[in-house]
């Protein structure tokens, strides 16, 4: 038996991209997003969960995480923003 990824019935990025606006598709492609991200965006748009943010990239260096998010405000209204988050946890004495 072959692996699940070789089955024709498994959802692929190519299946999802035809259901998304071209600007959203272009962003996800340019950031080389994984299948889970494509599925999250499709769910957000199909269910009109406007105001949702999707993480496009994320890197952690020492105690700081930085990356880019896509904010989906409406069907054809998206915005790409950078973020920086400190991961340091203060130690009490």
Integer Cα distance of 38 and 76 in angstroms: 16
Burial of 38 (0-12, 13-18, 19+ CB in 10 A): buried
Integer Cα distance of 8 and 55 in angstroms: 28
Residues in Cβ contact with 18 at an 8 Å cutoff, skipping those fewer than 6 apart: none
Which tokens in the block code for residue 2?
């072959």
Integer Cα distance of 69 and 55 in angstroms: 4
pLDDT in tens, 18-39: 999 999 999 999 999 999 999 9
Mean per-residue pLDDT, 64-76: 95
pTM, 2 dp: 0.79
């Amino acid at each position: 038996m072959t692996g699940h990824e070789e089955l024709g019935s498994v959802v692929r990025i190519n299946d999802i991209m035809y259901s998304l606006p071209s600007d959203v598709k272009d962003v996800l492609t340019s950031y080389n997003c994984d299948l889970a991200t494509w599925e999250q965006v499709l769910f957000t748009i199909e269910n009109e969960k406007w105001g949702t943010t999707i993480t496009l990239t994320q890197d952690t260096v020492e105690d700081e995480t930085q990356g880019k998010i896509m904010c989906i405000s409406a069907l054809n209204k998206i915005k790409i923003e950078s973020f920086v988050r400190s991961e340091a946890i203060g130690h009490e004495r």
